[in-house]
Amino acid sequence: MNIKILLLLIIIAWIKVTSSPIKISDGDCKKYLPKPQDQDDACKWVANYVEETPKPDGGEGLEIQSPQHPFETDGSDSHDDLDKLDYTYKTDSQSKCKCHYNSCNCARLGLKKVPDNLPQRIHRLRLDDNVIAVLPNCTFCSYSQLNFLDLSSNNLTHLQVGSFSELKHLIVLNLRNNSLVYFKETFPNGVFSDLVSLRCLKLHSNLHSHLPTGLQFPDEVLANLTNLESLYLDGFDSLVFGEHFKILTKLKTLDLAQGYCRMTSLSNSSLSNIYQISKLNLSGCYLQSVKFSKNAFKPLTNLQLLDVSLNSDLGITMFMSALREIRIYNITTLIMNFIESFFSPAKSITKDLVESLPSSLIYLEAQGNNFESIETGALQLLPPNLTYIIVGANRFLYGEYFNELYTLKSVKVLKLNGGAYLLNIPKTLRHSAGYTQCPLQQQTLTSSRPLIITLPPNLLCLDLRSMGLRYLMSELTFNSNNSLECLIFCDNFFPSLEGPINGLTKLLTLSVSGSGVNDIETQMFQYLGTLQELRLRNDQLQNFFEHNINQKVFKHLKNLRFIDLSKNALTYIQKNIFEGLDLLEEIGLHENSMWTFNVSIQNMFNLRKLNLSHTQMTTLPLETRQCIDRLLTNHSVLVDLSNTPIQCDCTNMDFLKWMTSSRAFHSSFTNYMCRYDNSSMAVYVTDAYQETFQELDGKCAEHSILFLVVTSATFCMVCCVTAALLYRFRWRLRYLYYAAYLMVKGQTKNAAKSEQFHYDVFVSYAYKDEDFILGSLVPELTERNLSVLVHGRDFAVGEFIASNIVTAVKESRKTLVVLTRNFLNSTWCNFEMQMANMESVHTGRPVLVFLIKESIPTAELTSDLLYYLNKNTYIVYPQGEITDVFWDKLARDLLQF
């Protein structure tokens, strides 16, 4: 098939679904998605307090929550800013509550009861993650000013009528993750009677898989909560929202998905008493189509947001029939990810399905539902104001509907991103998975017209990550009247960026990270002059930057502000590779193997960040330092050299002094390192290099005369020794010169004669690795018709080892070095490698090939070995499952002359 026709799959591509549902990252499209609607959720946006997310280590750190929709959460609760705590209170268990202004943090202290000696006028109190089992009457009477109370993750099994007495100002009450089973005895009438100001109540994660029978939430206890706006509950199959829910006229958010939810069924009357809610979350509640009524949502006349994701037994057909009943409601956000079983046949988006969508819809997520094709004309029936379409992890094939994309006039974000997922083995018999035959109207076009990809006119972000696309990115043309600003190709396979890409006159961000890019043609960015952000992270550009003669590959990107080239195994970059990119503000070269930074930044007057962390940098050139100093006179600049082995000796003293005094570095120098003369390993500094300076001051005293005398004497000695050696070996040097000349000349003539070699490959390995060599490597290569020479098996008996090695190298087309730690410790292995290198030097043919069997830090490798790895072919042995593809590639590389 023509490559241009194949490129149509960039818009509607087949996603190989091999997984179970997980949250898909928003990536670079996040800034184009709508603002979070959490202002309507009292549990997330409560006036007069700032939320925070607990850090993994148990501490707290400020972080405003901003999920993409109200039900996107990591399952953790939000708390106040209790970082800066300036006084403490001892409880009866001698643990200390930390208080600051009007907040007290008593979390994770092993408390068995609520402390009674805290400041009485506090507004916020955290008691989560303790072992409190009982809340006696009037427990909080002394803290009547509380508006935030967190009792989550304790041992509460029941409440008392007076447990929350006097808390008339309380706004948020968190009781999640206790053992408050939904019985009347657990929640006696009147237990919440004093909570007249309560707006948020969290009662989820109180049930578990071993549920008692006869559960029924005692809704009468909620009757006094007339200001309640957000309610988080667990869901169970017989859950009934009783008559008293009608009293909660301000209730807007009902979330059954954050804790335990095993509802399976939803009848016509299940939701009849909560008609007032505007946001309903039923994701992951195990809803089943056979127990689901198509009129289940009909009472919810005020519904604006509905999330039924992760209910794989619900099915598209059943849900869309229920949705059709409420399509005239003012629903603006619909989230229906993974509601179709992965084992079911592929689906087609028909006109009937599209017409079931609410006409007011603005935001739609329908990921992982086995969609394969779209009926012609269906796209034209989508809601007119639909702006955000998230339909990744499906099975789309190209069809004629592609030509209808331009009809999506309001769409700003189109996410077709895929992903790598794993399926659980089903416990019950499921429908067999199978792709449907693409209908006739969906078959690939055979027109000879030039390919022009027509995008929706207002589309701002197109996400095509992880879709299994595998192409040489040749010339690609889009319609000129598009508004696309962000194009994401991450985690596909585009080894060569040839281009050019035409028509994207407003493109600001292009991301091709993790796509195996190893070559970029000059014309690739010819028509992308508006580009401001280019991401090529985690590709394979090491050879391109090391050997590329053309240094003008980025010359068209005059407006580029940010470039990310991290994790490309770069060892060298040409000095003028960024010439003309005068507006660059940030350069990301971190996590590479660079030993030196010789890139010119003289004309980058806007540069604000240079990231060189996790490289092999030992210093920065004087020219680079001077440029950074000039930039600092106009604006702030950040240079990051953390986790790099900075050389700490007298020769690098000037750089150390400049670094520690420059405003371009953080004064704390966190994660900075030092490598001393007497050690090949770098160590982390903990005192901002103060001890290093004290040590070097004594070693680097000025001894100019002594240095001059020693240098002069050394120079004279070297001259004398060199002259004597030249005279002593003058005839041998001449012989070697002429012998090498004749050998190279003869080898050039006969280089193509493969019959001069007795073996295809000589394997150089350590004796301790013989099990792998004889058990795996040799059989695999022999199976692929390679003649293999192994020293333990094929060396001639009675010959000197050195003679056998030289003969083996000369009689083999390639020498394969199996690099392991055992290899590094073997003298004969090193000799074999040196002889192979000398054979390559004398004959001019490539001899050495490296198979990197173990991951070895660079610091443990010798300079010779690093040089050979840099100059010769090397292959990394996979750490996971070894497939025939790897062995085939290794065999091909060994047969190349």
Mean pLDDT computed over every residue of the chain: 81
Sign of the torsion angle spanned by Cα atoms 761, 767, 769, 775 = positive
Write out the two tokens for 561.
Answer: 């502000």
- Percent share of the chain, pLDDT over 90: 43
Of 284-288, 316-320, 703-707, the one with minimum mean pLDDT is 703-707
Give me the mean pLDDT over the 597-604 stretch.
91
∠ CA 56-41-298 to the nearest 5 degrees? 125
Write out the two tokens for 468.
Answer: 């299994």
The count of other CB atoms within 10 Å of the CB of residue 867 is 12
User: Collapsing DSSP states into helix, strand and coil, what is residue 376?
Assistant: coil
Per-residue confidence (pLDDT) for residue 845, from 0 to 100? 81
Strands 200-202 and 812-819: unpaired
Give me the mean pLDDT over the 542-565 stretch.
88
Total residues belonging to the chain: 897
Q: List, in sequence order, every residue forming a beta bridge with 819; answer none if it has no partner.
A: 852
User: Collapsing DSSP states into helix, strand and coil, what is residue 198?
Assistant: coil
Taking 60 as the threshold, does the pLDDT of residue 91 lie above it?
Answer: no
Question: Going along 42-199, which residue ranges are E strands?
Answer: 52-54, 60-62, 87-90, 96-100, 103-105, 124-126, 148-150, 172-174
Distance CA 632, CA 3 (A): 49
Sign of the torsion angle spanned by Cα atoms 852, 858, 861, 867 = positive
Q: Which amino acid is at 852?
A: I
The count of other CB atoms within 10 Å of the CB of residue 160 is 16
Per-residue confidence (pLDDT) for residue 212, from 0 to 100? 74
Taking 50 as the threshold, does the pLDDT of residue 336 lie above it?
Answer: yes
Q: Which amino acid is at 824?
A: L
- Percent share of the chain, pLDDT over 70: 81
Write out the two tokens for 646.
Answer: 């900075």
Q: Are 558 and 534 a contacting pair, CB within 8 Å?
A: no
Taking 80 as the threshold, does the pLDDT of residue 592 lie above it?
Answer: yes
| Cα end-to-end span (Å), the chain | 33
Q: Cβ contacts of residue 879 below 8 Å, gap of 6+?
A: 855
Q: Cβ contacts of residue 727 below 8 Å, gap of 6+?
A: none
Q: Are 808 and 788 a contacting pair, CB within 8 Å?
A: no
Q: List, in sequence order, every residue forming a beta bridge with 461; answer none if it has no partner.
A: 413, 486
Q: Are 272 and 240 a contacting pair, CB within 8 Å?
A: no
Per-residue confidence (pLDDT) for residue 431, from 0 to 100? 46
Distances (CA, A) of 598 to 276, 594, 619, 620, 639: 65, 10, 11, 8, 15
Per-residue confidence (pLDDT) for residue 539, from 0 to 100? 94
The pLDDT confidence band at residue 757, using thresholds 50, 70 and 90, is: confident
Per-residue confidence (pLDDT) for residue 7, from 0 to 100? 39
Give me the mean pLDDT over the 40-53 stretch.
51
Q: Are 28 and 464 a contacting pair, CB within 8 Å?
A: no
Give me the mean pLDDT over the 108-119 stretch.
92
Per-residue confidence (pLDDT) for residue 742, from 0 to 100? 37
Q: Are 764 and 829 a contacting pair, CB within 8 Å?
A: yes
Write out the two tokens for 532.
Answer: 């401001």
Distance CA 538, CA 496 (A): 15
Give me the mean pLDDT over the 645-670 stretch.
92
Taking 90 as the threshold, does the pLDDT of residue 564 lie above it?
Answer: yes
Taking 60 as the threshold, does the pLDDT of residue 392 lie above it?
Answer: yes
Q: List, in sequence order, every residue forming a beta bridge with 279; answer none if it has no partner.
A: 253, 305
Write out the two tokens for 297.
Answer: 């949502």
In this prediction the pTM is 0.67
The pLDDT confidence band at residue 59, using thresholds 50, 70 and 90, is: very low
Distance CA 101, CA 89 (A): 13
Per-residue confidence (pLDDT) for residue 818, from 0 to 100? 87
The count of other CB atoms within 10 Å of the CB of residue 56 is 6
Write out the two tokens for 374.
Answer: 């779209």
- HSE value, Cβ hemisphere, 13 Å, CA-based, for 682: 24
At 428-447, the pLDDT tens digits run 555 443 444 444 344 444 55
Distance CA 868, CA 839 (A): 13
Q: Cβ contacts of residue 252 below 8 Å, gap of 6+?
A: 40, 41, 229, 230, 276, 277, 278, 279
Distance CA 530, CA 525 (A): 10
Write out the two tokens for 242.
Answer: 């009783």
The pLDDT confidence band at residue 517, using thresholds 50, 70 and 90, is: very high
DSSP string, 675-738: B-TT-SS-EE-SSTTHHHHHHHHHHS---HHHHHHHHHHHHHHHHHHHHHHHHHTHHHHHHHHH
Per-residue confidence (pLDDT) for residue 151, from 0 to 100? 96
Taking 60 as the threshold, does the pLDDT of residue 713 lie above it?
Answer: yes
Distance CA 101, CA 50 (A): 14
Q: Are 30 and 44 a contacting pair, CB within 8 Å?
A: no
Question: What is the 3-class SS of 184-223, one letter each residue?
Answer: CCCCCCCCCCCCCCCCEEECCCCCCCCCCCCCCCCHHHHC
Taking 80 as the threshold, does the pLDDT of residue 835 lie above it?
Answer: no
Per-residue confidence (pLDDT) for residue 74, from 0 to 100? 42
At 862-888, the pLDDT tens digits run 877 887 788 887 888 887 777 788 888
Per-residue confidence (pLDDT) for residue 799, from 0 to 100? 64
Taking 70 as the threshold, does the pLDDT of residue 688 lie above it?
Answer: yes
| Chain position carrying tokens 């989550």 | 152
DSSP string, 449-498: SPP-B---TT--EEE-TTS--B--B--EEB-SS----EEE-TTSB-SEE-
∠ CA 290-292-296 to the nearest 5 degrees? 165
Query: 601: closest CA among 564, 562, 631?
Result: 631
Q: List, in sequence order, every residue forming a beta bridge with 851; answer none if it has no partner.
A: 818, 875
Distance CA 563, CA 558 (A): 12
User: Collapsing DSSP states into helix, strand and coil, what is residue 38?
Assistant: helix
Helix (H) or strand (E) holding 819: strand 812-819
Sign of the torsion angle spanned by Cα atoms 246, 252, 256, 258 = negative
More confident residue, 30 or 608: 608
The pLDDT confidence band at residue 798, using thresholds 50, 70 and 90, is: low
Which stretches within 296-350 are classed as H helix?
Answer: 316-324
Q: Cβ contacts of residue 380 below 8 Å, gap of 6+?
A: 404, 407
DSSP string, 124-137: EEE--SS------T
Of 40-49, 329-338, 362-371, the one with minimum mean pLDDT is 40-49
Query: 152: closest CA among 203, 83, 82, 186?
Result: 203
457 prior amide bond cis, ω within 30: no
At 179-208, the pLDDT tens digits run 999 888 899 999 999 999 999 999 999 988
Distance CA 657, CA 73 (A): 47
Distance CA 85, CA 104 (A): 9
Per-residue confidence (pLDDT) for residue 864, from 0 to 100? 75
